[in-house]
Amino acid sequence: MGKAALGLEELVMSIYDRMESKLKDIEAKNLQKVDDPEKLRAAIAKALEEVKKGREEMMELLESGSADLATIEQKINETLERAKQYLGKDYTGLRTAKATFSRCVNMYKKKVWPEIEKAVA
């Protein structure tokens, strides 16, 4: 694997790192605020599991050498959507968890995307 490919892998994985850290952040900041902390813990655990699954799928894609920008973006978005399904008020007891998670991940993605484009080119 060339240096560019390694850079690409690190950049793409940093988006998954951001997803994980934001989920843990949401849990840490809200555990005392919700009526049912166990419910929040369980929802965050499920969302983290989806991020982990997405990370593994992305690693396979990157290692296959057949990753193009559209596929990378699609996989990231799929992971984001799968994780978000556990962040609704019914799961977490929080009204804003889903929006906070999406906004933070998308802002971060926007920040690193130009570098990912360069790495793929």
Interval 43-63: pLDDT, tens = 999 999 999 999 999 999 999
Cα-Cα-Cα-Cα torsion 98, 106, 104, 41, nearest 10 degrees, comes to 40
Supply the Cα-derived Rg of the chain in whole angstroms. Answer: 15
| pLDDT at 27 (0 to 100) | 96
Q: What is the mean pLDDT of residues 90-112?
A: 94
- The DSSP string of 33-69 is TSS-HHHHHHHHHHHHHHHHHHHHHHHHHHHHT---H
| pLDDT at 67 (0 to 100) | 86
Prediction pTM value: 0.90
| pLDDT at 1 (0 to 100) | 40
Distance in angstroms (rounded) separating the CA atoms of residues 107 and 102 = 8
More confident residue, 15 or 4: 15
